Chain A
Amino acid sequence: MAAAVLTTAIAACLLAPLLWPLDQSAVDLAGTRLAPSWAHLAGTDELGRDVAHRSLYGLRVSLLVGAVAALVATVIGGLVGAVAGTVGGRVDRVLMRIVDTIAALPHLLLGIFIVAMLRPSLGAVILSIGLTHWLSTARIVRSELLSLRTRPFIDAAVSGGASRIRVLTRHLLPHVLPRLALATTLMVPHAVWHETALSFLGLGLPPHLASIGNMINDGQRSLLTGAWWSSIVPGLVLVAVTLALAVLTDRWRDRLDPRVRAELNL
């Protein structure tokens, strides 16, 4: 079920520009707040724009931002964690204090601050999410490396003449990468929500561009007039897709974790 929802959503997002092209700035003031019908499956919003059509384009933005931001966060977190876990000592202590300090700040507030410093764009939103979500990845990578470093097979590699780089690339990173991939996918739904929150607060994409957050924000003005569909439909799309993503990732973790653990503890 989750796989079907996600596959359909991704396929629709990929094919949308070909099958259902959308003029983002077009409005139809003669057909505002129309209830769902065969002509408009999810009705229209206060400017007469098709809610289903725009939800699809909004989802495109949300998934793109979610995936790229999760990747940015993984790269930053992976690098910081790898340096802390392999160099150790003072470098490790300094990096981990930086992580603790940033973690002590509310990350949505920090994200708003970062995005407010930049011009509103997709890049700014991605950077804002990436820069506030790398902390847990850094901690995961560091703790994995610290526990791996003391294992006898690393001693055997050092004794066999392997350089630091060789130990890192041949023995340490291959063990950490599955965890890193898992952390990235777990982060995607969260990043999607974060993008929506920023857009809802008016800090995401310019208002005329469809994004789930923008649509929920625009739609709340129509709620009092009875046109519930203009914010409920994009909200439901978001919930369905992120839930599907979370369920699939969770299943993957259940399958991956025992195997990795069993292999490492053999």
Chain B
Amino acid sequence: MTAPTTQTMGGTGSSAVPSAGLAAHQVSLSFGRQSVLDRVDLHLAPGETVGLRGPSGSGKSTLARVLGLLHTPDAGHVTFDGRPVVGARHRLPAAIRTRVAILFQSPRAATDPRLSLADIVAEPLRATGTGKDEARAQAAELAELVGLTPDLLTRRPHAVSDGQLQRACLARALVHRPAYLLCDEATAMLDASTQAHLAGVITDYQRQHHAAVLLITHDPALMTRWATRVVDLPPPAGS
């Protein structure tokens, strides 16, 4: 794999609007008086793996949430294959929301503790109208792909390890065949072998579906090995 190219984002922003891909344009966001993102640009082209790094508090996760269509920026906008996206969450149709998937850092917080792993993986399909049997079958297929055995699928989150749960989260993220996968420190809590396995599954998926991956990680080795391009977010204002 070739060494990634590096660029610094924020403040200066590019003016070109690429057509295909998921992009943030001059995105700014504050929580109260605390500015988290200040005129940030980021473009994810189909098929590429973009590494996003920056010190803690620089807004990496917030940018992932904005690109994940879960948060509306205060200023600037997000484009999806060249078309501006207005609003976030339920203001957007499910057909657009399901094109972008997020893999969160903590699989415990990201899974409903009441559901079995099989239900967790099948839930996005059930939520968008797929029949129970069909959803179960597709979920089982994906579970096998990420390395979850059938006996694990009947368990609830508290009865499996972080690694096993994150595998279920990855299967859930891929269940709608998203064009963009945003990994927000998704492998930070996992052991090396699980990390390698998940990275392998994501890379295979990326190759097959020409999907783009945004990789947020503090692990320089993983970043160098996996990302084709690295973007640096500047430290938060005032630090």
Contacts and interface: CB of A to CB of B under 8 A. Distances in A.
Interface string B130-172: 0000000000000000000000000001100000000001001
A171 B120 CA distance: 11
B97 interface: yes
The 4 closest A-B pairs by CB, nearest first: A160-B124, A161-B94, A162-B127, A263-B113
A163 B94 contact: yes
Contacts of B95: 161
A113 to B, nearest CB: 41
Contacts of A151: 109
A104 interface: no
Interface in B93-125: 94-95, 97-98, 100-102, 104, 106, 108-114, 123-124
Nearest to B112: A153
A125 B127 CA distance: 43
B113 A264 contact: yes
Given A151-B109, A153-B109, A162 B157 contact: no
Nearest to A166: B127
Given A161-B97, A164-B90, A152 B123 contact: no
Taking residues whose C-beta sits less than 8 angstroms from the other chain, chain A's interface range is 20 to 34
Interface in B76-100: 89-90, 94-95, 97-98, 100
26 contacts: A152-B104, A152-B106, A153-B109, A155-B104, A155-B110, A156-B102, A156-B172, A157-B112, A157-B124, A158-B70, A159-B69, A159-B97, A159-B98, A160-B123, A160-B127, A160-B128, A160-B176, A162-B94, A163-B94, A163-B127, A164-B90, A166-B127, A170-B127, A263-B113, A263-B114, A266-B108
Taking residues whose C-beta sits less than 8 angstroms from the other chain, chain B's interface range is 20 to 34
Nearest to B157: A266
B110 A158 contact: no
A17 interface: no
Contacts of A258: none
A175 B114 contact: yes
Contacts, number: 79
A152 B127 contact: no
Nearest to B119: A170
A49 to B, nearest CB: 53
Contacts of A152: 104, 106, 109-110
A114 to B, nearest CB: 38
B177 to A, nearest CB: 12
Interface in B45-88: 65, 68-70
Contacts of B113: 263-264, 266
Interface in B169-209: 169, 172, 175-176
A226 interface: no
Contact of B111 (A156, A158, A159, A163): A156
A174 interface: yes
A162 B123 contact: yes
Which of A161, A170, A175 has the largest number of chain B CB atoms within 10 A? A161
Given A161-B98, A164-B90, A153 B69 contact: no
Contacts of B90: 158, 163-164
A263 B109 CA distance: 10
A21 to B, nearest CB: 48
Contacts of B106: 152
A164 B112 CA distance: 16
B178 to A, nearest CB: 9
Contact of B123 (A170, A264, A266): A170
A254 to B, nearest CB: 20
Which of A153, A164, A166, A171 has the largest number of chain B CB atoms within 10 A? A153
B169 A156 contact: yes
Contacts of B111: 153, 156
A159 B70 contact: yes
A243 B68 CA distance: 53
Contacts of B65: 155
B65 to A, nearest CB: 8
A160 B122 CA distance: 10
Interface in A209-266: 262-264, 266
Contacts of B101: 159-160
Interface in A146-202: 151-153, 155-164, 166, 170-171, 174-175
Contact of A157 (B68, B123, B175): B123
Given A159-B70, A160-B176, A266-B157, A153 B110 contact: yes
